[in-house]
A and B are shown apart, each in its own frame.
Chain A
Amino acid sequence: MITIVKPIGNFCNLRCLYCFYAHLDQNHLRRMSNDLLKKLTRDLSEVGNPKVTVIWHGGEPLLAGLEFYQLAVEEQSRYPYIQFDNRLQTNAILLDEEWVAFFKEHGFGIGISLDGTRQIHDQHRKDAGQNPTFDRIMKNIGLMREADLKFGLIQTTTAKSIPFVRESQEFFYQELGLRSWNVNFVDRASCSENVSSDPSIALSDDDLCQVYDELIDFWLASDDRRLIIDELDQFVAAALGRKPRCCHFRGCCGNFSCVDYDGSVYPCDRLCSSPEDAIGNLQESNMSEIMNGDRARKFRINARVLHPDCLVCKWQPFCNNGCTAMRDSNGKYRHCEVRRKIFDRVSLIVNNYGSKGGECDASSVGKSPGDGPEV
């Protein structure tokens, strides 16, 4: 099972241009209590799944302090029959040798939030004093590299990113030596709901197509079997008739939980800004009860509602109406049209390999959704 834990809620030491939580309280740091952390760990161990992935998220999760995570791994060790897999998404500002040594010792998977080269990153991600952050992050990435602590990366793209998409991919690949990262998008609705201070940063559908174009062009040109851009892998899976892995393609929304500092449980960190989104609270009941409760069940039912357009779309089994948090007022995935174009484009690319008898050892290349088993 996967659970996202926000030990300090949405509190952050940066003030990113596109912050999803800018409208929420950024003046008071509240941290999950030790007692609640212990209860959460016990609850997760009692769900009945031998592997539990905990994604420590925020806000900025390092603000919870090293002692918090020391207690977390200590509590996890009380349940040796459960395999806890810890991952943490950080802006890397507070990383130092001590943090790096801790993460290395306890096998944390670290994700860094970096929006590309200095020029675009420093436009996006400033600290509370409006100072740029790129140099500090690069210095701390250096600490991780010195310690051989492997890390991944999430790049968030806005309309301002478009001129820098390709050079940012080159930067991740060439300069940072990464072979795996993912790309997120800030769209119009993200802005109207959460950012509003600068709606011009929102990606339109045309912008989004352009970002995908740049990504795909880089992907093709990099010519490296080890390169994984997770978003593109999902489209390749669909082109092969395979079940995508990522939640906003796979249709498994409601399978995850997101626990806030006060014990509130939400379906996802994309749906955790309003108390109405909560499906329960760990201070009142346990995780299994919450996830099997009426609110969670209703959420799962609603998340699985397809739009009428989905019913005649050949990509529906691979898209499942996209991310639940990104549907319009008619219940349709906001980027449906873009996604269909990308499905078609990647499918053409993949089919090209099969039809020309490439070196690929996959037996199913060229198998289109229409050829696949009945769903």
Chain B
Amino acid sequence: MPAVLESPRVMAQKSESVLGSINRMSALPFVGDDPEDQHTVNNWRGDWDKWDTGTNGTRTASPGYPPRRATPTFSGRG
């Protein structure tokens, strides 16, 4: 049985690697934070963030949501 399944190991000492990752990922929006980011299968416009709601074919600006989306990345084969 691999260690992960038995007992998660948690480092007592802080690692700069984790802090770096936390800082990078904290720049991303929360899941569900931006209703415009909810996707449908209609009206592909070349980018994830260009998908509209599938209702009226347009996107509307939402002042409450700053443009802090990150470009999705593709996981390719090596």
Is the beta-carbon distance between A373 and B30 smaller than 8 angstroms?
A: yes
Which of chain A's residues 318-375 have a Cβ closer than 8 Å to chain B?
318, 323, 338, 341-342, 344-345, 348-350, 352-353, 356, 358-365, 369, 372-375
Chain B positions 35 through 77: 1 when the CB is less than 8 Å from some CB of chain A, otherwise 0? 0010101111111101100000000000000000011111111
Is the beta-carbon distance between A219 and B78 smaller than 8 angstroms?
A: no
Residues in B whose Cβ lies below 8 Å from that of A145: none
Q: Given that A228-B21, A242-B28 are known contacts, is A213 also in contact with B3, CB under 8 Å in the complex? A: yes
- How many B residues touch A, CB cutoff 8 Å? 49
Give the dominant DSSP class at B's interface.
Answer: loop
Residues in A whose Cβ lies below 8 Å from that of B26: 240, 242, 362-365
Q: Given that A213-B3, A220-B18, A362-B23 are known contacts, is A49 also in contact with B31, CB under 8 Å in the complex? A: no
Chain A positions 297 through 318: 1 when the CB is less than 8 Å from some CB of chain B, otherwise 0? 1001100100000000000011
Say which one of A62-70, A132-140, A249-257 lies at the interface with B: A249-257
Is the beta-carbon distance between B77 and A241 smaller than 8 angstroms?
A: no
Residues in A whose Cβ lies below 8 Å from that of B8: 344-345, 348
B4: contacting residue among A212, A291, A296, A372, CB under 8 A: A212
Is the beta-carbon distance between A255 and B5 smaller than 8 angstroms?
A: no
Is the beta-carbon distance between A375 and B42 smaller than 8 angstroms?
A: no
**Total of A-B residue pairs, C-beta within 8 Å:** 216
Give the dominant DSSP class at A's interface.
Answer: mixed
A353: contacting residue among B14, B51, B75, B76, CB under 8 A: B14
Residues in B whose Cβ lies below 8 Å from that of A349: 10-11, 18
Is the beta-carbon distance between B44 and A291 smaller than 8 angstroms?
A: yes
A59 to chain B minimum Cβ distance, whole angstroms, is 11
Is the beta-carbon distance between B16 and A243 smaller than 8 angstroms?
A: no
Interface size class of A (residues with CB under 8 A): 35 or more
Which of chain A's residues 243-263 have a Cβ closer than 8 Å to chain B?
243-248, 250-252, 254-256
Is the beta-carbon distance between B32 and A219 smaller than 8 angstroms?
A: no
Q: How far is the CA of A77 from the CA of B26 in the complex (A)?
A: 36
Residues in A whose Cβ lies below 8 Å from that of B20: 224-228
Q: How far is the CA of A243 from the CA of B62 in the complex (A)?
A: 19
Chain A residue nearest to B33 (CB atoms) is A373
Is the beta-carbon distance between B39 and A48 smaller than 8 angstroms?
A: no
Is the beta-carbon distance between B16 and A224 smaller than 8 angstroms?
A: yes
Chain A positions 214 through 240: 1 when the CB is less than 8 Å from some CB of chain B, otherwise 0? 000101111111111010110011001
Residues in B whose Cβ lies below 8 Å from that of A217: 9
Is the beta-carbon distance between B19 and A360 smaller than 8 angstroms?
A: yes
B72 to chain A minimum Cβ distance, whole angstroms, is 5
Residues in A whose Cβ lies below 8 Å from that of B45: 47-49
Q: How far is the CA of A224 from the CA of B19 in the complex (A)?
A: 9
B67 to chain A minimum Cβ distance, whole angstroms, is 13
B63 to chain A minimum Cβ distance, whole angstroms, is 18
Q: How far is the CA of A212 from the CA of B2 in the complex (A)?
A: 10
Is the beta-carbon distance between B33 and A182 smaller than 8 angstroms?
A: no
Q: How far is the CA of A115 from the CA of B77 in the complex (A)?
A: 12
A89 at the interface (CB under 8 A from B): yes
Q: How far is the CA of A241 from the CA of B32 in the complex (A)?
A: 9
Most chain A C-beta atoms within 10 Å of own C-beta, residue among B20, B22, B45: B22
Q: How far is the CA of A49 from the CA of B45 in the complex (A)?
A: 7
Q: How far is the CA of A36 from the CA of B52 in the complex (A)?
A: 30
Is the beta-carbon distance between B76 and A4 smaller than 8 angstroms?
A: yes
A237 to chain B minimum Cβ distance, whole angstroms, is 4
Q: How far is the CA of A115 from the CA of B3 in the complex (A)?
A: 24
A255: contacting residue among B14, B23, B48, CB under 8 A: B48
Residues in B whose Cβ lies below 8 Å from that of A301: 41
A33 to chain B minimum Cβ distance, whole angstroms, is 24
Residues of chain B touching chain A, judged by Cβ–Cβ distance below 8 Å, are: 1-5, 8-11, 14-26, 28-33, 37, 39, 41-48, 50-51, 70-78
If A213-B4, A365-B26 are given as contacts, then 7 extra A-B residue pairs at C-beta distance below 8 Å, sorted by A number, are A113-B78, A184-B75, A228-B21, A246-B73, A341-B5, A349-B10, A365-B22
What are 17 sample pairs from A and B whose C-beta atoms fall under 8 A apart?
A20-B77, A156-B78, A182-B75, A222-B17, A228-B21, A236-B22, A236-B25, A241-B30, A243-B29, A243-B33, A244-B28, A245-B73, A246-B72, A342-B4, A360-B19, A363-B26, A372-B31
